[in-house]
């Protein structure tokens, strides 16, 4: 009996009755007998219900509050799988999935030891059971009785009772009842699992059978009946399942197999061998419901079975494979016969001695026999090449030339009337016509030749001598069309070649010379062909080799013949050689290719690409011809291309692409590992001077020499790259900013000390360097490169030949970086047409005018649709030399707008367009502007270009020449912001301008500022004396306008006159 543990308590003290005889022996025995009978007869689907009922029955008998079963699951955990609770008692099943092992460690140990846990009062449990005591108090359990369940010495669960409301003393009869019932439940659960496993196994077997690509038959050898099949079997035999099931195997067997043996006898032998334990694979012929034979590949294995002897047949339909094999056999048969007749003709006495008449007849006989055609004939062109004359013919049954001439006594075909036929022969090696009635190539001869002779299929191959058609071999299918195979076309063409060779050999002396020359050509082709030829016999030994191969490997031909082919390969590749040679023999006719390395005598290897295939011989030998192409140069070329893709062609340094690839990796390393790195962006100072002075050859040489100087300053782990033009990048891995600065300064000093000499002249250089540390917070590769570029420009602006170190919060660099960002924004706006023209009216002050005047202003539309003022983006355009492009856009669009409004032009007095100083100093810009003004449908005098005083005096001679050139066309000029310089009046005398625009700083408050009033008056007076009109800017109030009118200023412009408006608004604005 199972051991019992626990802590019995005196029930009287607790006020509970003693349950040592709660379940009478007789009732318990009856229940156990009933449960045993019930579990024996229970079906798999009724197990869960039977267990729940059993728990309810024993719980009722024992008068407990809760009964449950716990089973082991995955990874040694235990789960409550079944539970019964009395009315009003809460379920604990979910809280015991899984059972909290740590809190029930004492109970688990007792159960594992095979002892029943009998606890009459959970409140007085031993100290070792503190976890259980706490858990039972939480779950409100007063008493427990738990019996272990063992299978094959392994505890796999337990069954137990709980009391909720009060403690209880458990008697041994309840222990016995609980233990026996648990074992019976365990037995039925184990039986259920086995049944489910069996069903799952049967389903897996059925799925495997039904999903198999093969047709499956299970044969009962004792009954000689088919007892199971899959769907593929019904499709294979063309019969339904009911027909095939329980049919005798003879129903699907033909009388004989392919080799003529009796099918039944062979089948009995196979069954006998299979039942003896053999696993057989064999070819077999079955018969379907229509009586058609089906070639198959069969795998037969004995099946384990509780009843009888059974065999499983896995059948694969190999009809297609057999068809292909048959086609290959037919092809081999045809080509063997073709080669035989070709060889016989080629080695015939007639060919050797030039007996053309005999040769012609041999050729016709061979073509008629090999192709199985009704008629074959050979025709030759006459001397005038206008008539085809029949020289020989053969017909099935032995008739010869007379048959050909029967329908045409002259045996001739006039090519003048059939010129299209001759053209086809000239343009194609052979003319293969399946049905002359359906092929336009035969239309010219249809009525004159083909139909009278009953010809439906035609295969003609031209006999060519020195590239010219000399005759034709004709194979004719009479009465029915004929589909010509490629090998048949090649055969007739080859026969035509033999005839051509016979014609060439007609003169014996010439024939001998031609043969000797042909042999020499073949030998030279074989020996000196820049490919290595090896013939390998069936044993893997070299049977022949060309001279080129022998010399390439450092051998004589005779030294290689007889050597195993694999020993010529590098040791690491030798095992592959036999594998590939065997593959050639397993798939004859197919070309097998692989890469290898051949060893050269004296050391070294040659990389080769091997192409090999079998070459069947007349004596049934099947050697392999292996052609090895030297791929060493291709491999070197690939390496060279890879190098070129990563390096700059001029300097040999890494290129921008490789630099950016490494920079990305460094950024990832900084983010992931927190490592420090630094990049330097270098731009040479004075390089353009040398390039322009001495030419591009000098510039290129300078870059080559300087690259070596830069490389000497760097360590092995540092990277130097040419990023383009005279720009370089340095990547300093795992360097602090301080260490990197030291290296960068060394680079700067080395460049400063470098002297470049060209044509006896020495040049010095400098370099501006932008240095950017890379840390974890660095942005993308493009962000870092952009900051480095900006830092480099900052170094240039600070005086060149210096280093600018980027630091977080560098306001100067942020400003320049912002300008550089404007550069891309300006370019994008130009490309996307997001620049907008505005205009501001200029009004006369002294007398009314009918014509309108206005100045064109520029705005940029942002990506969000908001307008951006020119002060935000034009400084960046000036700094980065984009302003000439902007000026071109403004002029071009302004002229286009004016050209489209002839009525507006008639009322236009002047349209003022601003020009930057950079545009004025650009010769290309001047040439473009002159051409644009000449081509415009706008009178030049209506355009007034405004140039600031500062821009004009920066290069007075250039500005003067610019203005003079355009004034020659009729354009006018205004000097903008006049008065801002110290020598304004002195320059005014020398500049050919038509108007002066007074700087707004004098105009804005001249009504209250006496000094500004005097300045404006003097500018106006002097301007008038010089014959120039005056315009006041920034007129913002009516009092300023009145003061200007009083002074005598000609025109006024400003917010007090009119605010800027879109140019298109001028259409509706009027005057």
Q: Express each pLDDT in 121-173 by its tens digit.
A: 999 998 999 988 898 898 899 999 999 988 878 888 899 999 998 999 998 88
Neighbours of 121 (CB within 10 A): 24
pLDDT of residue 777: 65
Q: What is the signed CA dihedral for 493, 498, 504, 508, rounded to 10 degrees?
A: 180
Residue 845 has pLDDT above 90, yes or no: yes
For residue 853, the number of C-alpha atoms closer than 13 Å in the C-beta half-sphere is 20
Distance of CA 313 to the CA centre of its chain: 44
For the chain, what is the mean pLDDT?
A: 85
Distance of CA 796 to the CA centre of its chain: 44
What value does the mean pLDDT take over residues 76-89? 87
Omega before 575 cis (within 30°)? no
The CATH class, in words, for 830-1069 is alpha beta
Contacts of 344 (CB under 8 A, 6+ apart): 362, 366
- Helices assigned H by DSSP within 603-758: 632-646, 656-673, 687-694, 696-712, 737-753
Q: Tokens in use for 180?
A: 């026996």
pLDDT of residue 984: 62
Asked if CATH classification 3.30.450.40 holds for the domain at 3-197, the reply, yes or no, is yes
Max avg pLDDT among 318-327, 808-817, 916-925, 1053-1062: 1053-1062
In angstroms, the CA 1045 to CA 253 distance is 124
CA 397 to each of CA 55, 142, 459, 696: distance values in angstroms, whole numbers, following the listed order: 100, 115, 20, 86
Q: Tokens in use for 726?
A: 């005279």
For tokens 């700083």, what's the residue? 1001
pLDDT of residue 509: 47
The DSSP line for 469-494 is EEEEEEEEEESS--PPPHHHHHHHHH
pLDDT of residue 915: 93
For tokens 């043969």, what's the residue? 515
Residue 283 has pLDDT above 70, yes or no: yes
Q: Is 653 exposed, middle or buried (0-12, 13-18, 19+ CB in 10 A)?
A: buried
Least confident residue range of 399-408, 627-636, 664-673, 994-1003:
399-408
pLDDT of residue 518: 66
What value does the mean pLDDT take over residues 852-872? 89
Q: Is 772 exposed, middle or buried (0-12, 13-18, 19+ CB in 10 A)?
A: buried
pLDDT of residue 212: 66
pLDDT of residue 7: 42
For residue 988, the number of C-alpha atoms closer than 13 Å in the C-beta half-sphere is 28
The DSSP line for 337-393 is HHHHHHHHHHT-HHHHHT-HHHHHHHHHHHHHHHHT-SEEEEEEE-TTSSEEEEEEE
In angstroms, the CA 874 to CA 859 distance is 10
pLDDT of residue 1046: 95
Max avg pLDDT among 530-534, 693-697, 840-844, 861-865: 840-844
Instruction: Report percent pLDDT > 90 for the chain.
Output: 40
**Angle of helix 1038-1047 relative to helix 1010-1025, nearest 10 degrees?**
40
Least confident residue range of 131-140, 414-423, 693-702, 860-869:
414-423
Contacts of 492 (CB under 8 A, 6+ apart): 367, 371, 430, 459, 460, 461, 473, 475
Sheet order of strands, 532-536 included = 542-545, 532-536, 624-630, 605-614, 592-599
Backbone angles phi, psi at 421, to 5 degrees: -65, -45
Residue 474 has pLDDT above 90, yes or no: yes
Pick the CATH number of 362-513 from 1.10.3720.10, 3.30.200.20, 3.30.450.40, 3.40.50.300: 3.30.450.40
CA 871 to each of CA 414, 779, 867, 880: distance values in angstroms, whole numbers, following the listed order: 92, 29, 12, 15
pLDDT of residue 949: 76
Of 94, 102, 82, the C-alpha closest to 139 is: 94
Beta 995-998 vs 972-978: how paired, if at all?
Answer: parallel
Name the residue ranges covered by the structural domains of the chain: 3-197, 212-317, 362-513, 529-634, 647-808, 830-1069
- Examine domains 3-197 and 529-634 and report if their fold is the same: yes
pLDDT of residue 75: 66
Reported as a pLDDT band with limits 50, 70 and 90, residue 214 is confident
- Helices assigned H by DSSP within 65-125: 105-112
In angstroms, the CA 389 to CA 382 distance is 7
In angstroms, the CA 233 to CA 251 distance is 13
3-state secondary structure 442-461: HHHHHHHHHHHHCEEEEEEE
pLDDT of residue 816: 62
Neighbours of 36 (CB within 10 A): 13
Least confident residue range of 98-102, 465-469, 666-670, 860-864:
98-102
Reported as a pLDDT band with limits 50, 70 and 90, residue 8 is very low
What value does the mean pLDDT take over residues 802-813? 75
Helix, coil or strand: residue 728: strand
The CATH class, in words, for 529-634 is alpha beta
What value does the mean pLDDT take over residues 285-289? 92
In angstroms, the CA 13 to CA 124 distance is 13
CA 688 to each of CA 699, 725, 729, 846, 922: distance values in angstroms, whole numbers, following the listed order: 8, 10, 19, 53, 17
Q: Tokens in use for 644?
A: 């070129």
Neighbours of 764 (CB within 10 A): 14
Q: For residues 772 and 781, is the Cβ–Cβ distance under 8 A?
A: no
Least confident residue range of 223-237, 833-847, 941-955, 1008-1022:
941-955
Radius of gyration, CA atoms only, the chain: 53
Give this prediction's pTM.
0.36
Q: For residues 392 and 364, is the Cβ–Cβ distance under 8 A?
A: yes
Q: For residues 872 and 812, is the Cβ–Cβ distance under 8 A?
A: no
Q: Tokens in use for 358?
A: 């005999």
Of 821, 819, 855, 856, the C-alpha closest to 836 is: 856
Asked if CATH classification 3.30.450.20 holds for the domain at 212-317, the reply, yes or no, is yes
What value does the mean pLDDT take over residues 652-674? 91
pLDDT of residue 522: 66
Asked if CATH classification 3.30.70.270 holds for the domain at 647-808, the reply, yes or no, is yes
Residue 441 has pLDDT above 50, yes or no: yes
Residue 209 has pLDDT above 60, yes or no: no
Residue 17 has pLDDT above 70, yes or no: no
Sheet order of strands, 455-465 included = 412-414, 387-395, 375-381, 468-478, 455-465, 430-433
pLDDT of residue 121: 94
Reported as a pLDDT band with limits 50, 70 and 90, residue 1 is very low
pLDDT of residue 412: 67
Number of H helices, E strands in the chain: 38, 39
Q: Express each pLDDT in 632-644 by its tens digit.
A: 887 777 778 788 8
What value does the mean pLDDT take over residues 780-792? 86
Residue 391 has pLDDT above 60, yes or no: yes
User: How big is the chain, counted in residues?
Assistant: 1071
pLDDT of residue 315: 92
In angstroms, the CA 1040 to CA 235 distance is 105
What value does the mean pLDDT take over residues 534-543? 92
In angstroms, the CA 397 to CA 372 distance is 11
pLDDT of residue 616: 87
3-state secondary structure 214-271: CEEEEEECCCCEEEEECHHHHHHHCCCHHHHCCCCHHHHCCCECCCCCEHHHHHHHHH
For residue 230, the number of C-alpha atoms closer than 13 Å in the C-beta half-sphere is 18
Residue 413 has pLDDT above 90, yes or no: no
For residue 765, the number of C-alpha atoms closer than 13 Å in the C-beta half-sphere is 27
Q: Express each pLDDT in 248-270 by its tens digit.
A: 888 999 999 989 999 999 999 99
Reported as a pLDDT band with limits 50, 70 and 90, residue 887 is very high
């Amino acid at each position: 009996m199972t051991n019992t543990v626990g802590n019995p308590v005196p029930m009287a003290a607790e006020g509970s009755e003693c349950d040592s005889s709660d379940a009478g022996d007789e009732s318990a025995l009856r229940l156990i007998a009933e449960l045993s009978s019930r579990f024996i007869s229970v079906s798999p689907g009724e197990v869960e219900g039977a267990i729940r009922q059993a728990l309810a029955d024993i719980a009722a008998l024992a008068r407990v509050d809760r009964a449950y079963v716990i089973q082991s699951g995955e990874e040694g955990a235990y789960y409550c799988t079944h539970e019964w609770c009395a009315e009003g008692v809460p379920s604990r099943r979910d809280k015991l999935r899984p059972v909290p092992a740590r809190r029930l460690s004492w109970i688990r140990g007792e159960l594992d030891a095979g002892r029943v846990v009998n606890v009459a009062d959970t409140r007085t449990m031993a100290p070792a059971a503190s976890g259980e005591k706490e858990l039972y108090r939480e779950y409100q359990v007063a008493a427990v009785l738990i019996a272990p369940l063992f299978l094959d010495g392994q505890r796999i669960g337990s069954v137990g009772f709980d009391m909720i409301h009060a403690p209880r003393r458990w008697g041994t009869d309840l222990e016995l009842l609980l233990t026996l019932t648990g074992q019976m439940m365990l037995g039925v659960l184990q039986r259920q699992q086995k049944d489910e496993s069996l069903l799952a196994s049967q389903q897996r077997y059925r799925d495997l059978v039904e999903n198999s690509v093969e047709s499956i038959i299970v044969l009962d050898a004792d009954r000689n009946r088919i007892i199971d099949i899959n769907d593929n079997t019904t499709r294979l035999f063309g019969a339904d399942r009911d027909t095939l099931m329980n049919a005798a195997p003879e129903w699907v067997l033909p009388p004989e197999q392919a080799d003529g043996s009796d099918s039944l006898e062979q089948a009995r032998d196979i069954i006998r061998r299979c039942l003896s334990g053999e696993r057989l694979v064999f070819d077999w012929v079955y018969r379907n419901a229509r009586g058609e034979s089906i070639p198959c590949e069969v795998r037969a294995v004995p099946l384990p079975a509780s009843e009888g002897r059974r065999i499983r047949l896995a059948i694969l339909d190999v009809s297609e494979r057999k068809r292909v094999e048959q086609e290959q056999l037919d092809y081999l048969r045809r080509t063997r016969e073709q080669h035989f007749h070709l060889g016989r003709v080629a080695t015939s006495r007639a060919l050797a001695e030039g007996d053309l008449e005999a040769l012609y007849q041999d050729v016709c006989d061979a073509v008629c026999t090999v192709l199985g055609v009704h008629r074959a004939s050979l025709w030759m062109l006459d001397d005038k090449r206008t008539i085809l004359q029949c020289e020989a013919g053969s017909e099935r049954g032995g008739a010869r030339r007379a048959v050909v001439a029967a329908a045409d006594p002259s045996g001739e075909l006039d090519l003048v009337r059939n010129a299209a036929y001759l053209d086809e022969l000239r343009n194609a090696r052979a003319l293969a016509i399946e049905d002359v009635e359906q092929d336009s190539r035969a239309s010219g001869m249809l009525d004159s030749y083909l139909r009278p002779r009953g010809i439906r299929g035609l295969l003609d191959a031209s006999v060519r001598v020195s590239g010219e058609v000399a005759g034709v071999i004709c194979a004719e299918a009479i009465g029915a069309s004929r589909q010509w195979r490629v090998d048949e076309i090649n055969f007739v063409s080859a026969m035509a070649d033999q005839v051509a060779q016979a014609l060439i050999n007609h003169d014996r002396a010439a024939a001998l010379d031609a043969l000797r020359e042909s042999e020499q050509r073949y030998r030279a082709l074989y020996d000196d062909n820049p490919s290595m030829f090896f013939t390998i016999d069936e044993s893997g030994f070299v049977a022949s080799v060309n001279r080129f191969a022998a010399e390439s490997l450092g051998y004589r031909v005779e030294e290689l013949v007889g050597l195993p082919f694999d020993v010529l390969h590098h040791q690491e590749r030798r095992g592959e050689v036999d594998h590939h040679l065997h593959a050639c023999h397993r798939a004859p006719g197919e070309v097998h290719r692989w890469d290898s390395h051949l060893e050269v005598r004296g050391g070294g290897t040659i990389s080769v690409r091997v192409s090999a295939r079998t070459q069947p011989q007349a004596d049934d030998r099947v050697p392999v011809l292996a052609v090895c192409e030297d791929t060493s140069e291709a491999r070197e070329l690939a390496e060279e291309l890879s190098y070129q893709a990563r390096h700059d062609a001029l300097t040999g340094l890494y290129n921008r692409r490789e630099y950016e690839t490494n920079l990305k990796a460094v950024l990832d390393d900084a983010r992931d590992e927190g490592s420090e790195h630094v990049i330097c962006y270098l731009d040479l100072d004075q390089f353009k001077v040398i390039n322009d002075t001495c030419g591009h050859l000098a510039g290129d040489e300078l870059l080559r020499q300087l690259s070596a100087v830069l490389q000497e300053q760097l360590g092995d782990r540092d990277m130097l790259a040419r990023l383009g033009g005279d720009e370089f990048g340095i990547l300093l891995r795992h360097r602090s900013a301080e260490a990197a600065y030291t290296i960068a300064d060394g680079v700067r000093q080395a460049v400063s000390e470098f002297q470049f000499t060209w044509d006896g002249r020495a040049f010095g250089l400098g370099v501006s360097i932008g240095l950017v540390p890379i840390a974890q917070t660095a942005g993308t590769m493009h962000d870092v490169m952009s900051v480095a570029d900006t830092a480099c420009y900052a170094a240039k602006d600070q005086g060149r030949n210096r280093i600018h170190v980027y630091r977080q919060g560098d306001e100067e660099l942020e400003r320049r970086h912002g300008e550089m960002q404007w550069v891309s924004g300006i370019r994008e706006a130009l490309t996307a047409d997001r620049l907008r023209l505005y205009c501001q009216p200029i009004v006369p002050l002294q007398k009314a005018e009918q014509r309108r005047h206005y100045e064109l202003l520029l705005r940029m539309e942002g990506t969000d649709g908001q307008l951006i003022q020119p002060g935000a983006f034009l400084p960046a355009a000036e700094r980065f030399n984009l302003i000439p492009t902007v000026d071109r856009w403004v002029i071009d669009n302004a002229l286009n707008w004016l050209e489209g409004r002839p009525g507006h032009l008639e009322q236009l007095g002047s349209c003022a367009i601003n020009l930057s100083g950079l545009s004025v100093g650009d010769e290309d810009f001047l040439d473009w502007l002159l051409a644009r003004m000449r081509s415009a449908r706008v009178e030049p005098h209506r355009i007034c270009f405004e140039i600031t005083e500062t821009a004009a005096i920066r290069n007075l001679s250039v500005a003067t020449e610019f203005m003079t050139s355009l004034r020659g066309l009729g354009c006018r000029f205004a000097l903008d912001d006049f008065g801002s310089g110290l020598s304004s009046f002195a320059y005014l005398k020398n500049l050919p301008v038509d108007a002066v625009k007074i700087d707004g700083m004098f105009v804005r408050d001249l009504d209250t500022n006496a000094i500004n009033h005097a300045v404006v008056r003097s500018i106006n007076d002097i301007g008038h004396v010089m014959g120039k009109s005056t315009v006041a800017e920034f007129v913002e109030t009516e009092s300023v306008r009145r003061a200007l009118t009083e002074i005598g200023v000609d025109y006024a412009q400003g917010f007090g006159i009119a605010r800027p408006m879109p140019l298109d608004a001028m259409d509706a604005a009027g005057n």
